[in-house]
Amino acid sequence: MGRVNVNFNHRLKEEISRIRREIGVFLGEEDSAALEELVVFWMENEHVLSNFSNPYLLGSLCLLSIIHVVSRLNVIEKKLEALEGVHDA
């Protein structure tokens, strides 16, 4: 009462189901698995998304995905450096 506001969880789930419906169906097996991995990451970070004032949900999902990719690249880079260190030694 007194406010009209769409539940964020509901909005997020709707957006994810739209992405799955319109993009996911055309993706190959590996890309589809990558999308599902992103979905898990988005859902686990729902509080981050809902706290972000950006009104465009798709933009927020994109930004979060980039952060996720960069963080995984960093992990791989570190592992690679460690392996190179072992190799050099």
By C-alpha distance, which of 60, 55, 22 is closest to 41?
Answer: 60
53 forms part of the interface with other proteins (CB under 8 A): yes
Provide, rounded to whole angstroms, the least separation between the CB of residue 89 and other proteins.
29
Residue 10 in the binding site for other proteins (CB under 8 A): no
Instruction: Identify which of residues 4 and 89 has a Cβ nearer to other proteins in the complex.
Output: 4
Nearer to other proteins, 45 or 65 (CB): 45
Lookup: tokens for 60 = 């927020």
Structure tokens at 46: 């729902």
Which one, 22 or 44, has the nearer CB to other proteins?
44
Q: Which of 20, 24, 32, 45 binds other proteins (CB under 8 A)?
A: 45
Alpha carbon distance 82, 77 (integer Å):
9
Tally DSSP H helices, then E strands, for the chain.
4, 0
Cβ atoms of 23 and 15 within 8 Å: the answer is no
Residues that bind other proteins (CB under 8 A): 1-3, 5, 8-9, 36, 39-40, 43-47, 50-51, 53, 55
